[in-house]
Amino acid sequence: AINELCVAGRHLHEEVPFPKHDCVYRGGVLPKKHIDFYRIGRKYRAPMFLATSFQKEVAENFCERLWNAHKGAHGAVVWIVHVNPCGRSDKKLQCKHANLIERSQFAVEKEYLFVPYSVFTVRMVYLSPNPTYHTPHVIHVEAALDNLMEPETLLLAPWC
């Protein structure tokens, strides 16, 4: 039901802005005890709304703010969320459980908001030897096309 609410009003004929490089970004921190969860090939669900930005700089700013707020106790991380590049020209191939939020707190920021329990698959992981906001871990994930086509029994991410 919440998936329908998040994407309500979107029709196939509507023009929805698409990420320039077929990906969106999320910055944050990641406790050391959760790093091993993000293994290449792992498919999981994120048990919360997941805000992402079209702009890498916005994610890096969030990363810096959170790293400073935690006083460096957790490693800085930038998630790069890849979406199906075919969605650029074929609206039926756009992610069905994310939508562009145009009424964000920051008007200039383009934000894709993924609904709770959205499915992602880990593509690549770069673990920084010194994960500060200057040199964060980088985790590439691929967003599923449609949550309804994915098993409900997938692991839940402990941190995202």
Average pLDDT on 115-134 reads 97
Cα distances from 11 to residues 58, 122, 132, in angstroms, run: 28, 29, 42
SS3 category, 152: coil
Distance spanning both ends of the chain, measured CA to CA: 22
Residues 7-42 pLDDT 10s: 444 555 556 678 989 999 999 999 999 999 999 999
Binned at pLDDT 50, 70 and 90, residue 103 comes out as low
Alpha-helical (H) ranges within the chain are 2-6, 56-69
